[in-house]
Structure 1
Amino acid sequence: MVVKIQRPYPPVVSYTENEGMNLTLESTLQQLPLYRFQVELSQLGQEVKRTLEANPLLPGAILTDKEKFVGMISRRRFLEHLSRPYGLELFLKRPIHTLHRLAENQLQVLMFPGNTLIVDAARRSLQRSPEYLYEPIVVQLSETEYRLLDIHRLLVAQSHIHELTTQLLKENTQSQLIQTEKMASLGQMVAGVAHEIRNPVNCILGNLQFLANYSQDLLVLIEAYQKVISTSNPEIEQLKEEIEFDFLREDFPQIIGSMQVGADRLSKLVSGLRNFSHMNESNPQPADLHECIESTLLILNNRLKQGIHLIKNYGELPLISCYSGQLSQVFMNLLSNAIDALVEQPPQAGEQPWIEITTTLVEESPASLVSIRIADNGSGIPTDIQSRIFETFFTTKPVGQGTGLGLAISHQIITQKHQGQIRVRSPYLPSGKGTEFEILLPAT
């Protein structure tokens, strides 16, 4: 709705009603109903009075001098000055400049660009002194275009966004609770499956060594028979050709060796799954952090094969009293984020993507600390969001790809469950890129 009032020297009043606004968490002031009432300082006060009387919702007037912004006067301030002794005689038949000059020291104009977030504007407006709390806000849409925003409208919009935030938080919380229950059930299932797989794997590993010894003994026995039996048998020679005996004798030990390597790897993977699934540990237990890291790397091995060079600088670490399954989850989150960063935005051509894991024992007073640093040469984390990366539900990934819980949960596990610290440094490299996360844990 646009209201226009024509006067001999017309101030222009326009008000666009935006009922049923589709506000979001990122909505700005220019999405709210704004008033345009611009008054030259040379205009008479009675013109302003008539306009305010004709438009009861108009919060005030924008004051200009030769169309240049000089200030604002609210409806409440204007009527307050008119109600004073001789106010009508002083201000109605004189230019509004007289009133502005008198009230200038009493006014504090709060101005925001049109793209200011509603939540930010509401917070700052509520921080004003009580006497200015209900003064309208000036919204600057361009260098020469200004609008007025009624504080009531701003607070209603803020209340709407607050309700929307609460609803979204409730929905996200419910969704994450369901996901957490699924992950907990999955962890129990993985632990059970890993336990069931481990027994036959151990059986295979144990018998492979016997098989290797038996096969070697049989080959030795066959060679002994060949030396004793000097005359060759045509039937035996034909059979040796059919089974390619010479190749079999060389390849047999190699096959058993490759089976041994595969079974060893499967055993380590099963152990890694069992360690990673220890999420419901009731008490901290001594653990080798290098084993936790290696278990996590085994699970991520397929993703690391995407051309990412892994650098491991392991120092001498003591056993750490910790919740090993939860620390494995932290390592999983940090390493997964590093891999995502390198895959989504690879380094420049000719530069190989890499992830570096460094562990050291830091001697600090009053107690020693264990440091685990996980760094990459990706694009880095923008400075303006680094303070928010550990917030619950904060994510820069597209919808459906990120929950905003990985780093928040990691921060909670390190700081609350282990009384440690987790730090981020980005950019990490002299080139202005890269990210490094450092975890500090008590060594005792």
Structure 2
Amino acid sequence: MVAQVSEIATQVVARSGLNATEVNIDSTLGDLSLWECSVDVSQPGRIVAQIFKEHSLLPGVILTDKGQLAGMISRRRFLEQLSRPYGLEVFIRREIRVLNRLANQKVGDHLSPGHLIFSGETPIVEAAVQSLERPPEKLYEPVVIECSTHRYCLLDIHQLLLAQSKIHELTTQLLRENTQAHLIQTEKLASLGQMVAGLAHEIRNPVNTLWGNVKFLKTYSQDLLDLVDAYKKESGEDPEAIEDLKEDIDFEYLENDLPELIDSMQESAERLNQLVGGMRNFSHMGENHAQLANLHECLDSTLLILRNKLKYGINLVKNYGELPLVECYSGQLSQVFMNLLTNAIDALNEREQSEQWQPEITITTEWLAEADESEWVKIQIADNGVGIPAEIQERIFETFFTTKPVGKGTGLGLAISHQIVTEKHKGELKLRSQPGSGTTFEIWLPISQSSSPD
């Protein structure tokens, strides 16, 4: 909205916009209330004096020379020149160009007016920073805004600083809320880790009992079947009552199915035992000290937990090399593996299915020796999913940055993973991705934490 205020020798227009206290984090200079007032430098000083007299809030006027921008003179600078001895008599009738030239010479600016000129699309915070970097004598001068091509407005520095202060307040509040959310999420993960560890411990004893006793059950059942078979061979034909009972219980089917049933129970008990072991390994979130760990066991424990997600048509390839035991926080690394593998599964699910494409995740491990004789292990987790757009790859490890819909992503997984690898383990987490072809994450870890560089 543009409202005409008055018209004397020139037009003064107040361009309505957001109040400084109504801005948001993404607001630009063009969103603020601006003043539009220009005077040709050939006009006498009394014109500017009259404009300032009639418009007490006007911070300055734009100076033009034959329609081209020639500079700006602020209310403060103009009145300062007129208040000098004989200033009123000297400048009131002379051209504005004379007063402007002398005013700029006073601040050592005789070659160029040097006023700040911003586009209307400039973020408020960026403009405020540049404004505050000006010399002290120009610190409170209004700034020039290019509202459109060859059309300029003025912004009172007071309004700019108020808006910047409001944005700082909003940013601080958002950071506080995000930090609180991060702390809550971290606390939940720690509590979950403790709960899973306790639950796994409680489940492990009965699971071990089942797993151990099913072996005896298999032996005992086979012995009983062998005994029944021996009785049959010795006694010949079974009595009629025995034959009736065998028919009632379908003994022939029972004899064939019982060993298979016990084998299935043994396999399930073994899987349950592995799952509980994997949960215990994965839940070591609160280690106070780095300990030697088998990274292949950490990976397999994580894959075991993700088994339900991986079984739907995803081909898993494990290229495990020979790895030494690595000094690390195994529970935290398991969390990294979980985050990267979950992202890989999501990327595969997002890609459009086709007959020529088979969803695949490849895990590769390697033991490396650098030129400086330091030893590292490298873990690659690669998928052939949708890939990550090039324009956001640099932001992928930023806290709270996510491309997932609201409610499906917190923006913490990769940020926490990066922190665990780089800060906790003094390693590196690298990304390679080709949109449409897939993504590879590389985890580089020093074998020994004590010998790794700070």
Aligning the two structures, in what range does the TM-score lie when normalised by the shorter sequence? 0.7 to 0.9
Q: How far does residue 337 in structure 1 lie from its aligned partner after superposition?
A: 2.9
Aligned equivalent of 1:254:
260
Give, in whole Å, the separation in 2 of the partners of 1:33 and 1:118: 12
SS at match of 1:231: coil
Give, in whole Å, the separation in 1 of the partners of 2:358 and 2:100: 66
Give, in whole Å, the separation in 1 of the partners of 2:436 and 2:78: 55
How far does the alpha carbon of each residue in 1:223-267 deviate from its partner, in whole angstroms, 9 at most, with x for none?
A: 333333333544333333332333222222221122122112211
How far does the alpha carbon of each residue in 1:6-34 deviate from its partner, in whole angstroms, 9 at most, with x for none?
A: 33543232142633743332222222222
Residues 331/92 of structure 1: CA separation in 2 closer, same or farther (3 Å cut): farther
Q: How far does residue 79 in structure 1 lie from its aligned partner after superposition?
A: 4.9
SS at match of 1:105: coil
Aligned equivalent of 1:390:
397
Residues 254/17 of structure 1: CA separation in 2 closer, same or farther (3 Å cut): same
Superposed CA RMSD in Å reads 3.2
Aligned residues: 440
Aligned equivalent of 2:351:
346
2:446 partner letter? P
Q: Quick check: 1:347–1:378 contact (8 Å CA) kept in 2?
A: no
Aligned equivalent of 2:418:
411
- In terms of mean alpha carbon deviation, does 389-398 or 61-70 score higher? 61-70
Aligned equivalent of 2:299:
293
2:378 corresponds to 1:371: yes
Give, in whole Å, the separation in 1 of the partners of 2:204 and 2:275: 10
Unmatched 5+ stretches in structure 2: 105-109, 449-454
Give, in whole Å, the separation in 1 of the partners of 2:249 and 2:12: 102
Q: How far does residue 44 in structure 1 lie from its aligned partner after superposition?
A: 4.6
Give, in whole Å, the separation in 2 of the partners of 1:70 and 1:382: 45
Q: How far does residue 433 in structure 1 lie from its aligned partner after superposition?
A: 4.9
Residues 106/113 of structure 1: CA separation in 2 closer, same or farther (3 Å cut): closer
Give, in whole Å, the separation in 1 of the partners of 2:439 and 2:75: 54
1:51 partner letter? I
Q: Quick check: 1:281–1:323 contact (8 Å CA) kept in 2?
A: yes
- In terms of mean alpha carbon deviation, does 25-34 or 57-66 score higher? 57-66
SS at match of 2:410: coil
Residues 258/392 of structure 1: CA separation in 2 closer, same or farther (3 Å cut): same
How far does the alpha carbon of each residue in 1:250-291 deviate from its partner, in whole angstroms, 9 at most, with x for none?
A: 222221122122112211111111112111112211111111
**Alignment counterpart, residue 439 of structure 1, candidates 412, 437, 443:** 443
Aligned equivalent of 2:210:
204
SS at match of 1:333: helix
SS at match of 1:36: strand
Aligned equivalent of 1:183:
189
Q: Quick check: 1:61–1:74 contact (8 Å CA) kept in 2?
A: yes
Unmatched 5+ stretches in structure 1: none
2:157 partner letter? I
2:50 partner letter? R
Aligned equivalent of 1:31:
31
Give, in whole Å, the separation in 2 of the partners of 1:348 and 1:122: 50
1:12 partner letter? V
SS at match of 1:106: coil
Give, in whole Å, the separation in 2 of the partners of 1:382 and 1:124: 32
SS at match of 1:174: helix
1:106 partner letter? S
Residues 334/128 of structure 1: CA separation in 2 closer, same or farther (3 Å cut): farther
Q: How far does residue 305 in structure 1 lie from its aligned partner after superposition?
A: 4.1
Aligned equivalent of 2:158:
152
How far does the alpha carbon of each residue in 1:38-87 deviate from its partner, in whole angstroms, 9 at most, with x for none?
A: 34556554323322333333233334566565654444455566667887
Residues 20/146 of structure 1: CA separation in 2 closer, same or farther (3 Å cut): closer
Aligned equivalent of 2:270:
264
| Match runs of 1:279-290 below 5 Å | 279-290=285-296
2:447 partner letter? A
Percent identity, aligned pairs only?
A: 59
Q: Quick check: 1:30–1:115 contact (8 Å CA) kept in 2?
A: yes
**Alignment counterpart, residue 320 of structure 1, candidates 326, 335, 340:** 326
Q: Quick check: 1:347–1:377 contact (8 Å CA) kept in 2?
A: no
**Alignment counterpart, residue 169 of structure 1, candidates 133, 151, 175:** 175
SS at match of 2:111: helix
2:126 corresponds to 1:124: no
Residues 228/129 of structure 1: CA separation in 2 closer, same or farther (3 Å cut): farther
Residues 374/74 of structure 1: CA separation in 2 closer, same or farther (3 Å cut): farther
Q: Tell me the TM-score normalised to structure 1 length.
A: 0.86
